[in-house]
Structure 1
Amino acid sequence: MKKSGLYTIALLLLCISATANPGSVNNPEGTGLPDSVEIKIDTLIARMGISSQTPGGVVGVIREGRIIFEKAYGQADSETKTPNTTSTLFNLGSTSKQFTAAAILLLAKQKRLSLKDDIRKYFPDFPDYGYPITIENLIHHTSGIKSSDGLCLMAGTLFSKDNREGDYNFIARQKSLNFRPGDEFLYSNSGYILLGKIVEKASGMKFSKFIEENIFRPVGMTHTYIYDRPDKTTVNSATGHVRGGDQKFERSGYQNTTLTGISNVYTCIEDLLQWDNNFYSNKLGKWDFSKEMTTPEILNNGDTCKYAFGLDISEHNGLRTISHGGGTGDFSTQYTQIPSERLTVVCLFNISTDATGLANKIIDLYVKGNPKHVAAEVTPEKANVDTALLQKYAGKYLDKSYGFIVTITADSDHLVFEAPYQGRFEIYPSSDSLFHVTFADLKLLFRRNNKGEVAGAAIIQGDQKFDLTYLGTDIYPLKAEQLSEYAGDYYSEEIDVTYPVTFKDNKLYIKLPESTAQFCRVNAESELVSECDDYFASPVSGIEFTRNTENEITGFIIINIGRVRNLVFGKVK
């Protein structure tokens, strides 16, 4: 046994030593960092599959205004075999958004704009949706504007039109909002693309120049730059990597994208130290930088939006956190502050990986916090419910938010939940109205009206809740001979793309763009499953076909793909 144990430890140490880059460690003496912490961080990195032969990243820990741990792992470029170092620059991805937000704050302090300004003051050609959209709405993702990445994905251009002008024109083509401004929080990259343009209009300067001269340099971020044009020199910068068909890492082509406002700030641990220190001692003016940057918005219903100025306000193990993560497909980053401990963890990688999870694990090595006690999961006991009650719950239920219809059937002592592309599983009674599954933390709560009739249900998973409306039992899918009238080409003016719908072998199919299908991991030609009337299920969303007063099919609506709701297509005549 001892021999086996020693052999295992030797392998672990070999793995760790092969992962880190010699000479790339900055662990100053006198910081009080136990050697065991470094070994644990190395082990976490090794478990991510990162070695000296793969792309990797840099991890930094800041405490009380100085770096107490800094180490590089893997390669900055897999083709040249250049190793990452602690001074290598990485694309922050969406972690860049806090700099865009800071620029807006700075311009507001200079009275060159107001957070309450209607954005049509800066974009007179922007659609008027009947409600004012303010700069503040853009900052906090409460504008309701459909997210550009979702629009581009459904258009088959993946994530971006490659420049802010192209993306702006795409955003401005939208005929509707996801919701009334201020009603909800829903992450939207469109907002920060617009903010980048507002910075230029309010300052009279190019976005990158304003940020570099008014934020990076005053704060002391002397190595940081914004990648805003393809010919920009990128000295000492990591190259992004993706996994190829053989699962080996290869350089990506994403660096050709020069979209700013939402991404493309390249920086290093040393410069992020300067940025982090600015939250405690502001070099941008005589105002409370930390308080302003972490102030959230109050929604229309009085709830507080937890997204501040390009920063998430949350908690980890009972400790308040200020953070943001970023992912571009070939870079992954995480910046997390714990103000009460004056501790910050930064993770920068030139691959797609769980930088957020790693940052949380590293935080746990330094501070214990006050983690909430989570009781061991116990499957609720099955209650005895009258079969007549089970029969009452049977029927069709509509999820209006996603356009899916759920079928509930009674089966001896339990119910069966089934929906196209959503799976089929059994649900068991915990009480007369609450049902559970045996394989996950998922519940179904039925509700009745004041007459005792079934009115609907709610799917509850963690802190998420999805409402279902009861439709009844006499709801049936269309017959095969009824499907042919839906065939045709459908064009979306909003995203400038045509989706063919075909009828063959007594089934209806929709043809998605190849890149859309690949990203969603579905077949490009996927079946549209009839649910009832003009509602169909697809692998990406529920779809509702529309008709005119003569009952002719005029188009369809893709109801919800997350950051984009109610995407309209018209039938081509």
Structure 2
Amino acid sequence: MNNYLFSISIVMLCNIFLPAKSQHIKPDNQHNIQFNNKYYRLDSLYSELYKYDEFNGNVLIAEHGKIIFNKQYGIANKSDLSPLTGQSSFYLASVTKQFTAYAMLLLEKMHLLSFNDELSKFLPELGFYKGVTINQLIHHTSGIPDYVGLFDKDWPNGKTVSNTDVIKRLAKMKPQALFAPNEKWQYSNTGYLLLAAIVEKVSGQSFSQFLAEHIFTPLKMDQTGVLSPYTDNSAHPAIAWPFLEDASDRDYVKKFDSIYGPGRIYSTVNDLFLWDRALNNPGWISPAEKKLLYTNWQLNGGKSTNYGYGWFLEKDSTYGQIVYHGGSWPGYLTLLERHLRDDKTIIILQNDAKGTGKRRLPKQETQKILYDLPLESTVRLPDSTLQKYTGTYISEKGKTSEIVLLHRSIWIQFSPTTRFELMPATETKFIVNGFYPEVSYNFILADDGSVEKCRILQPEEGVDRITVKKKP
């Protein structure tokens, strides 16, 4: 789920052994693939990321319906070091949303509902959210708040939250809407949970059964399904498991393992390619339905949201029209991207199986390779250089922060299990991975090359602070 993020202030910012890697890099279906320049550039990109513990997952790239790259990098399970395969199944996180939205399109096509139907028609206990329609749930404009906060208190430790639990708590607590329907756009996992409930109410089937019968089985997506592996305790041998070092991550995953609609689908790169091809097949989806899928939804005032039916929408001067959705969940990072003008497909599924926390989503680099564009050089520093930046830093107010070396990177450490990577932009300038606006750590060296200070900058927020490195 995209809203699962570490929340941390700029104040805080200021203050294993594995076998040889080569045996964990495997091609899939390579007998149909041409080993051309694009293939070798893609392999070089992902191999380097894997080498530096920044990528562990599967990649499938296609052009005009033909797979040009399909390869696995890394392990499926740290406990037994089993390698990823083409059949490895990943938790899709929010990539699930396009299937939930498509289920609504199918139900509308069956004349079982209208996109303009109000939520209260199907879930009358939520009738106090007046005027909220299915369309607004699909397009993240309902204003209904996120459900996670409803379970921060008075919820038994170790108990898993279900969709029914969420709906009951919404009905009981009646949290106020964040804004009037369709007045604003705000990403909403709650909206997609409610859509899944509507699917079940209207179809008389479970969400899992409906998707299987109407999407997965017809498309022969045999490795795809709605799973709750932490709850049902089944073996699921094909799952690409993450390694969750942080106890809070493990608790969070187990707590919300049964929530479906905004997430919960597991799939493979090959099955997602079948889905991609179906969306280009007029026998599966009509031109009118396809146009609707990628229509840019507008707010009441006419402002575009750049969101369609479970897809983000983007127009690029180089790549043309792009539709995509990513997903993020503890240990997973996923992407399905379609270039409509040039019929190019990018599928990236990652599980942080080694628990390094150094996940990369090389979307821009992959796009450039697909269009034969040059890549910017990546700054890589040896451990001997990185080591000199490690240590304790003291702010002007006397607060301390630690920088540590781990997994060929330096990190700002906040607790034994919570840290953020500092990515080198130059030999002395580092960018905090995952922060926007950008936060940079600029190390100031003494004449002898040792580190004296660090200047922390975030210009957009007016941050400009100095910390002094504590001498040994």
Using structure 1 for the length normalisation, give the TM-score.
0.56
Show the counterpart of 2:50: 45
Once the two structures are TM-superposed, the CA of residue 201 in structure 1 deviates from its matched residue by 0.9
Please tell me whether the aligned partners of residues 162 and 257 of structure 1 are also in contact (alpha carbons under 8 angstroms).
yes
CA distance in 1, matches of 2:259, 2:250: 22
Task: Give the corresponding residue for 2:327.
Answer: 326
Q: 1:240: which partner in 2?
A: 242
Task: Evaluate the alpha carbon distance shift between residue 34 and residue 44 of structure 1 in structure 2; reply closer, same or farther with a 3 A threshold.
Answer: same
CA contact (8 A) 1:95 1:263 kept: yes
Spell out, residue by residue over 1:423-478, the C-alpha distance to the aligned partner (whole angstroms, 9 max, x if none): xxxxxxxxxxxxxxx9545289xxxxxxxxxxxxxx9xxxxxxxxxxxxxxxxxxx
Give me the whole-angstrom Cα distance separating, in 2, the residues matched to 1:252 and 1:66.
Answer: 39
Runs (5+) with no aligned partner, structure 2: 1-17, 376-455, 464-472
* Secondary structure of 2:361 counterpart: helix
Aligned residue identity for 1:38 = D
| Residue number in structure 2 paired with 1:219 | 219
Q: Which has the larger radius of gyration?
A: 1
Q: Which residue identity does 1:192 align to in structure 2?
A: Y
Question: 1:317–1:368: 8 Å Cα contact kept in structure 2?
Answer: no
**Would you say the 8 A contact 1:200–1:207 is kept in 2?**
yes
1:406-417 residue pairs with structure 2 within 5 A? none
Deviation at 1:80, TM superposition (A): 1.9
- Alpha carbons of 1:316 and 1:162: their partners in 2 closer, same or farther (altered >3 Å)? farther
Q: For 1:159-308, list aligned pairs within 5 A.
A: 162-172=161-171, 173-228=173-228, 230-231=232-233, 234-244=236-246, 254=254, 257-286=257-286, 288-308=288-308
Count of residue pairs the alignment pairs up: 357
Percent same amino acid at aligned positions?
Answer: 26
The amino acid across from 1:165 in the alignment is: T
Contact kept in structure 1, 2:95 and 2:334, CA below 8 Å: yes
After superposition, the Cα gap between the structure-2 partners of 1:293 and 1:46, relative to the gap in structure 1 and judged at 3 Å, is farther
State whether structure 2 residue 365 is matched by structure 1 residue 361.
Answer: yes
- Structure 1 residue 72 displacement after superposition: 1.0
CA contact (8 A) 2:116 2:134 kept: yes
Residues 477-522 of structure 1 show CA distances to partners (whole Å, capped at 9, x for unaligned) of: xxxxxxxxxxxxxxxxxxxxxxxxxxxxxxxxxxxxxxxxxxxxxx
Q: Which residue of 1 aligns with 2:135?
A: 136
Q: Deviations over 1:280-300 (max 9, x none)?
A: 114545454432221232101
Q: Which amino acid aligns with 1:337?
A: R
CA distance in structure 2 between the aligned counterparts of 1:311 and 1:370, rounded to whole angstroms: 28
Aligned to 1:533: none
Question: 1:159–1:317: structure 2 CA closer, same or farther, 3 Å change rule?
Answer: farther
**Structure 2 CA distance for partners of 1:36 and 1:286, relative to 1, 3 Å:** closer
Q: Secondary structure at the match of 1:219?
A: coil
Corresponding residue of 1:387? none
Instruction: Using the TM superposition, give the Cα deviation of residue 176 of structure 1 relative to its aligned residue in structure 2, in angstroms.
Output: 1.2
Deviation of 1:40 after TM superposition, in Å, equals: 2.3
8 Å contact 2:158–2:254 — kept in the other structure?
no
Contact 2:159 2:255 in 1 (8 A): no
- The residue that corresponds to 2:40 in the other structure is 35
CA distance in 1, matches of 2:148, 2:96: 16
- Relative to structure 1, the CA distance from residue 45 to residue 215 in structure 2 (aligned partners, 3 Å threshold; closer, same or farther) is same
Deviation at 1:224, TM superposition (A): 0.8
Say if 1:19 and 1:42, in contact at 8 Å, map to a contact too. Answer: no
Cα deviations by residue, 1:282-336 (Å, 9 ceiling, x for unpaired): 4545454432221232101111111211111124564332111111212211111
Code of the residue aligned with 1:167 in structure 2: it is V
Q: Following the alignment from structure 1 to structure 2, what is the Cα–Cα distance between the partners of residues 370 and 104?
A: 41
Maintained 8 Å contact 1:21/1:85: no
The one-letter code of the counterpart of 1:299 is: L
Q: Is the 8 A contact 1:119 1:133 kept in 2?
A: yes
Where does the alignment leave 5 or more consecutive residues of structure 1 unmatched?
A: 1-14, 51-55, 372-437, 445-458, 460-573
Q: Which residue of 2 aligns with 1:336?
A: 337
Write the letter of the residue equivalent to 1:123: L
- Let me know the Cα RMSD of the aligned residues: 3.4
1:400-437 Cα deviation digits (max 9, x unpaired)? xxxxxxxxxxxxxxxxxxxxxxxxxxxxxxxxxxxxxx
Matching residue of 2:346:
345
| Residues 1:21 and 2:28 aligned together | no
Which whole-Å deviations, capped at 9, do the CAs of 1:70-108 have from their partners, x for residues lacking one? 111221111122111122010101111110000001101
Cα 1:282–1:17 change in 2 (3 A) is farther
SS in 2 for 1:340: coil
Contact 2:21/2:74, CA 8 A, preserved across alignment: no
Task: Call closer, same or farther: CA 1:250–1:94 in 2, change over 3 Å.
Answer: closer
* SS across alignment from 1:98: helix
CA gap 1:165/1:443 in 2 versus in 1, 3 angstroms = closer
User: Is residue 160–residue 256 contact of structure 2 (8 Å, CA) maintained in 1?
Assistant: no
2:124 is aligned with 1:106: no
- The amino acid of 1:140's aligned partner reads H
Q: Which one-letter code corresponds to 2:364 in the other structure?
A: N
Q: Which amino acid aligns with 2:243?
A: H
Q: Per the alignment, do residues 350 and 155 of structure 1 end up closer, same or farther by CA in structure 2, a change over 3 Å counting?
A: farther
| Alpha-carbon distance between aligned partners in 2 of 1:243 and 1:108, rounded to the nearest angstrom | 43
- 1:16–1:46 Cα contact (<8 Å) kept: no
Equivalent-residue separation in structure 1 for 2:101 and 2:158 (angstroms): 22
Shift of 1:367: 1.5
- Greater CA drift, 141-150 or 100-109: 141-150
How much has 1:271 moved relative to structure 2? 0.5
* TM-score, length of structure 2 as denominator length: 0.68
What is the letter of the counterpart of residue 272 of structure 2?
Answer: L
Q: Are 1:61 and 2:61 matched, yes or no?
A: yes
Residue 220 of structure 1, CA deviation: 2.6
Q: Closer, same or farther in 2 for the Cα pair 1:227/1:443, shift >3 Å? A: closer
1:366-385 correspondence runs (5 A) = 366-367=370-371
Asked if structure 2 preserves the Cα contact closer than 8 Å seen for 1:92 and 1:326, the reply is yes
1:59 CA displacement: 1.3
Distance 2:59 2:308 in 1: 25
Provide the rounded CA distance (Å) in 2 between the counterparts of 1:16 and 1:35: 24
Q: Are 2:158 and 2:255, in contact at CA under 8 Å, matched by a contact in 1? A: no
Contact 1:37–1:365 (8 Å) recurs in 2: yes
Query: What is the DSSP-based 3-state SS (H/G/I as helix, E as strand, rest coil) of the residue aligned with 1:357?
Result: coil
Contact 2:63 2:345 survives alignment (8 Å):
yes
